Amino acid sequence: MEERRKEFAKNILRMLNEKKNEEVKEIISNLHPIDFAEIVDFIPLGQLIEIFKILKDDEKIAELLTELGSDLQTDVMDALGKEKASDILEEMDTDEAVDVLSEMTPQESRELLDLMPKEEAAGIEELLKYEENTAGSIMNNEFVAIPEDLIAGDAINKIRELSPEAEMIYYVYIVDKKERLIGVLSLRDLILAKPSVKISEIMEEDVVSVFDDDDQEEAARKISDYDFLALPVINKKMVLLGIITVDDIIDVLEEEVTEDIHKMVGSSEIYEDKLIKANSFTRMKSRLPWLFVCMFGEIISGTVIKYHSDILQSVVALAFFIPIIMAMGGNVGAQSSTITVRALATGQLKLDELWRNIWTEAKVGLLIGCISGITIGVVALLWQNSYLLGLAIGLSLCVTMITAATVGTLLPLIFTKINIDPAIATGPFITTTVDVGSLLIYFSLGSFLFSYFSG
C-alpha cells in the first residue's frame, strides 16, 4: 500500500515538473481528503504548496487542509497569503477553522479574522474563547434549530433555508423564544409527520446534552453511550450554543487514547502526531524526565539490596529470584493500573466505588499471588533443596502480588482525587514503587525466616 502511495505521489510530482497543471488539478480535485493526506508525506513542501495554488477552489482546499497535520496547515496558509487564507477559513466548518487558527500566533489569527466577514469571524472568535479540551472548544456553531411554535410543514421549509449553513441535519433542535434548548427531533420523524402537526407535539423533550465547559471526554462518553450522530452543547442558562458531531468525537477519542498511552510509558509531551515525527532531541527531552524517575527508584532498590548484603552472602540463592520478584510485581501493578485508568476514562468506575475496587483488585492479587507463589516455591525447593528458600520466595511473591495490585489500583484513584491525570500514575511511578516495595518484602521475609528458622 505504501509503495502504491509513493508511486502515485511520484506521478503527481512528474506532472508538476512537466507543467501539466490542469491534469494535476483534475486528479487532486477528485481525490478524497483522506487519500490526499496519505500521499502528502511523499511530496516536498514546495511542491505541496504549488498544488494548492493550482487548485484555486477554496472549498476543495479547505477540505484537503482539514486532514493535514497542524504544521502543514500553517505552512500552506502562510504560503498562500492572508487574503487567500481568510477565504479558505470561510469555507471550513467553524470548529475546523478554530483548530487551524489555534496553531497560529494571536497576531496572525487576528489578521485573518479581520479579513473575514464579521458574522463568520464572530462565530469563530466565540469558539476560540473556550479552554482546550472542553466541549465548547470542539463544538460547531452551525446547526439547525427551529422555534417550538412551528408546524411540521413550516419546519421543513425553515430547514431548507438553514441547511446550507449547517454541518449536519440528522437532528433538528427545538428552542424557545430565549434560544433555550427544549427538545429534539430526528429529520426522519419530521418528514414522516403530518404537515399540520405542531413540532412541540412530536419532539423529544428529554434531550441529552453537555455543558460548554464540560470536558470533551464527557461528550465522547455520551455520544458513545447513546449512539448519537451529534450532541447539543448548552450553557448554564440552557441556551443552545452548538453541536458536537460523531466525527469530532472520533478525533477526540484517538487523541485521548494516544495521550494516555504516551503518559503510561513516560512520554507525555505530545501534540497530535508530532512526537512520532519529531527529531531525536525532542523525543529524548519528552522521555528523559520520566526515566530519571525510574533511575532514582532503582537507586533506592540498589540501596535495599546493599542493606541486605549479609543475607545474600549467606544464602546466595536468594539473588537468583530477585528478577522474578521485581518483574512479576511490576507486571501485576501495571495490569491493575491500566484497568483502573481505563475504567476511570470511560466512566465505568466512579470515585465512590473506590474502596470496593481496591478490595476487588487486592483479592485478584491474592489469587494470582497464591498460584504464582506456590509454583515458584516448589521450583526453589526442588532446585536448591531448601524448604526455607521455597517458603521465602513463595510467600514473598504472594505478598508482592497483593501489594502490587493494590498500589496499581490505588495510585490512579489518588491522582484522580487530587485532579491529576491518572494516566501518569502508570509506567514509571508504578514500576518504581513496586520495585522498591517488592525488594523490601522479599528481603524482610527472607531475613526473618533464615534468621529464626535455619539450623
The answer to which of 197-206, 313-322, 428-437 has the lowest mean pLDDT is 313-322
- Tell me what the mean pLDDT of segment 206-210 comes to: 93
Phi, psi of 57 (to 5 degrees): -70, 110
- Spatial CA neighbour of 274 closest among 74, 63, 428: 74
Q: Write down the mean pLDDT value for the chain.
A: 83
Residue appearing with cell numbers 520520566: 290
HEC assignment per residue over 331-345: HHHHHHHHHHHHHHH
| Lowest-confidence segment of 31-45, 63-77, 331-345 by average pLDDT | 331-345
Taking Cα atoms as reference points, which of 49, 50, 55, 56 lies closest to residue 73?
49
Which pLDDT value is given to residue 241?
Answer: 93
Give tens-digit pLDDT for 287-298.
666 667 777 777
Q: Which residues, at least 6 apart from 11, have a Cβ–Cβ distance to it below 8 Å?
A: none
The pLDDT tens digits for 90-104 are 888 888 888 888 888
* Alpha-carbon torsion (368, 369, 374, 380), positive or negative: positive
CA–CA–CA angle 245, 170, 29 (5° rounding): 70
Is 67 or 268 the better-scoring residue by pLDDT? 67
Which pLDDT score is estimated for 261? Answer: 60
Q: Which pLDDT score, from 0 to 100, does residue 166 have?
A: 61
Please write the tens of the pLDDT for every residue from 348-363.
676 666 778 888 888 9
Q: Where are the domains of the chain?
A: 2-129, 145-252, 274-453
Helices 322-346/428-453 angle, 10° precision: 140
What fold, for 2-129?
MgtE N-terminal fold (1.25.60)
Phi, psi (5° rounding) for residue 316?
-60, -35
% of the chain beyond a pLDDT of 70 = 85
Q: Which of 3.30.160.100, 1.10.357.20, 3.40.50.720, 3.10.129.10 would CATH assign to domain 274-453?
A: 1.10.357.20
**129-to-176, 209, 387 alpha-carbon distances in Å:** 26, 20, 68
Q: How confident is the model at residue 179 (pLDDT cuts 50, 70, 90)?
A: very high
| Range 380-395 average pLDDT | 86
72 in Cβ contact with 47 (< 8 Å): no
Q: What is the pLDDT of residue 272?
A: 46
Which one has a higher pLDDT value, 35 or 259?
Answer: 35
Residue 285 reports pLDDT greater than 70: no
* pLDDT of 51: 92
Between residues 274 and 142, which one has the greater pLDDT? 142
Q: Helices in 81-205 by DSSP H: which ranges?
A: 82-91, 94-102, 106-115, 118-128, 135-138, 152-162, 187-192, 199-202
* CATH annotation of 145-252: 3.10.580.10
pLDDT of residue 271: 46
What percent of the chain has a predicted confidence (pLDDT) above 90?
19
Q: Examine domains 145-252 and 274-453 and report if their fold is the same.
A: no
Residue 268 has a pLDDT of 52
Q: What pLDDT, in 10s, does the model give residues 404-438?
A: 899 888 888 877 777 766 666 566 777 788 888 88
Over 60: is that where the pLDDT of 130 sits?
yes
- Higher pLDDT pick, 84 / 355: 84
Burial class of residue 17, CB neighbours in 10 A (0-12, 13-18, 19+): exposed
